[in-house]
Amino acid sequence: MSKSMEIVRNTELLRIYAQRQRVRLDFGEVAVDLLAYVEIISPDGKIDAIPDVWECQGNLNALWPLIGRRMTKIVMDDDSFRLTFEDGTLIRCKNRKDYDFVKVWGPDPKLETEYPTVLHYLSEE
């Protein structure tokens, strides 16, 4: 049976930290670390890809215009991790089922959710 997890928030992207092996999207009460292949899908359907964050492959320019926009929800399921913005922009990381490549921090600062491992724990409930 397919499991999914949804985090509904209405919070603004405050800043982006680009580090050697991750890109952190800081929404204040929630932060998202992107560690692998990332797609930024604009409302008109244009897809900008960052092939591999961990190996520093790709262009982060598609992320910068998202600063100041509001996230509406995060959905994690067997297919992908998706972060939706109020204007319809979508950040998607497809599930390759081999290692954790997205971490969500918050809203409790001590709470960390790793994707796709979290789906394994959901299936045990």
| Full-model pTM | 0.87
pLDDT at 2: 65
Whether 52 has a pLDDT exceeding 90, the answer reads: no
Percent of the chain with pLDDT over 90: 50
8 A C-beta contact, residue 39 and residue 93 = yes
Q: How many beta carbons lie within 10 A of that of residue 24, not counting itself?
A: 15
Domain coordinates in residue numbering, the chain: 4-124
Cβ atoms < 10 Å from Cβ of 108: 9
Q: Which pLDDT score, from 0 to 100, does residue 54 have?
A: 74
pLDDT of residue 1: 46
Alpha-carbon distance of 36 to 54, in angstroms, equals: 6
Provide Rg for the chain, Cα atoms: 14
Q: How confident is the model at residue 125 (pLDDT cuts 50, 70, 90)?
A: low
Average confidence (pLDDT) over 87-101: 87
Q: In Å, what is the CA distance from 62 to each residue of 35, 50, 76, 91, 125?
A: 16, 9, 22, 10, 38
pLDDT, position 7: 87
Q: What percent of the chain has pLDDT over 70?
A: 93
* pLDDT at site 122: 65
From the list 103, 82, 107, 115, the residue with the least C-alpha distance to 27 is: 107
Q: Give me the chain's average pLDDT, please.
A: 87
